[in-house]
Amino acid sequence: MINNNNWRLLFTPDVDPYMNMAIDEALTRKCIDSENRPAAIRFYTWKETSCSIGYFQKIENVLKTLKDKSVPIVRRPTGGGIVFHGNDITFSVVKRRAKDNRQENITSFYKLIGESLLRGLERVGLTCTIYLPEERSHHSKSERKHLNDGLSQQSFCSATPAKYDIMINGNKVAGYAARKSQGAVLCQGYLDLHERWKEEYKNSREKTIHLLFDNLAGSFKNVFGITLTSSQLTEVEMRLANKIRSRKYACDEWNYRK
C-alpha cells in the first residue's frame, strides 16, 4: 500500500486556460481510478490573461459583468465566482476521500489550506489574516466598508470573502473551492499578490512565481504533515488531459452552458 502522507508536488507554468482545467480533472480521474494513487498538490500559472468562472455561475450574468469580452472564459469544475488570471499563482489539491480523516471534512480542509497560505506568505514577509466571518466586528471601519461593498458584487470571487480565505488590509487575495466526486476531492484556489508586488513582479515575474511556489510548497508540507515529492505529469495523464481539453473545457457547450 502507498504511504498516504507522501504527496506529489507538481509545477506547470504558463498553460492555456482550457488545459489548466483539463489537467486538474485528469489528475482527479486518475485519483479515483486507483486506491494506491498518491494525493497531489499542483501549482500553475496561465499562458494568457484569462477568466475562470464557477461551475454554478450563469453565463448571461458573467457576460454582463465582464468589461472585456475578448478575454478567454473557462468554466471550472468547482464553485465560486469570476477569477481573473494572469498575474496570479493558482493551485489545486487532489486526494482520495478517506473516512475518519481530518482532511476529509471540507471546512477543515479549507482551514488547512488557509493556514498553509498564511504561513507561506508570512515567510516572504507579508502580513495577512485568515478571514473569519464571526470576527468581522473586529475589522477596522475601512475594512468593514470594503467587505460590505464586496458582498454586493457576488459575481467576483475576489470581492466575496468566505471563511478561511486570505486577506491583506481588508482585501481578499486568496480563495478556494472544493468539489467531492465519487472517491476523490478536488480543491482549486488562487493567490493574487500582483498589486502588492507590482514592481517585483514587473521586474521578474518568473522569480516572483518561483519564490511563492517554494515557500507555499514548504508551508503546505508543514501544515498538512506530509512529505512532498517533486513530480511531472505522466504521459498517460497528459494524453487524458488533452482529450478532456478538446472535448470539454475548450468547448462552448461547457463554458457557456448555463
Q: State pLDDT tens for residues 185-217.
A: 999 999 998 888 877 777 788 889 999 999 999
120-143 pLDDT, tens digit per residue, is 999 999 999 999 997 754 454 444
Which residue is it, cell 506529489? 8
Domain containing residue 204: 6-104+175-255
Q: Max Cα separation, the chain?
A: 54
Average pLDDT over residues 37-48: 96
CA–CA separation, 249 and 258 (whole Å):
14
233 domain residue, yes or no:
yes
Nearest by Cα to 244 from 69, 89, 75:
75
CA–CA separation, 250 and 50 (whole Å):
13
154 domain residue, yes or no:
no
53 domain residue, yes or no:
yes
pLDDT at 34: 82
| CA distances for 110 relative to 60, 82, 257, angstroms | 29, 19, 28
pLDDT at 152: 34
CB distance 241 to 19 below 8 Å:
yes
Spatial CB neighbours of 213, under 8 Å, sequence gap ≥ 6:
11, 43, 89
57 domain residue, yes or no:
yes
Total number of domains constituting the chain: 1
Q: How many CA atoms lie within 13 A of 58 on its CB side?
A: 4
CA–CA separation, 46 and 50 (whole Å):
7
CA–CA separation, 216 and 218 (whole Å):
5
Supply the CATH number for residue 181's domain.
3.30.930.10
pLDDT at 101: 52
Nearest by Cα to 41 from 140, 99, 116, 133:
116
**What is the three-class DSSP state of 176?**
strand
97 domain residue, yes or no:
yes
Confidence of residue 257 (pLDDT cuts 50, 70, 90): confident
Cell output for 116? 498553509
Give how far the C-alpha of residue 15 lies from the chain's centroid of Cα atoms, to the nearest Å: 15
142-184 pLDDT, tens digit per residue, is 444 444 444 334 577 777 899 999 999 999 999 999 998 878 9
210-251 pLDDT, tens digit per residue, is 999 999 999 999 999 999 999 999 999 999 999 999 999 999
CA–CA separation, 208 and 74 (whole Å):
25
**What is the three-class DSSP state of 23?**
helix
216 domain residue, yes or no:
yes
pLDDT at 35: 80
Q: Which helix (H) or strand (E) holds 255?
A: helix 252-255
Does the structure show a pLDDT above 70 at 115? yes
pLDDT at 56: 95
111 domain residue, yes or no:
no
pLDDT at 160: 82
170 domain residue, yes or no:
no
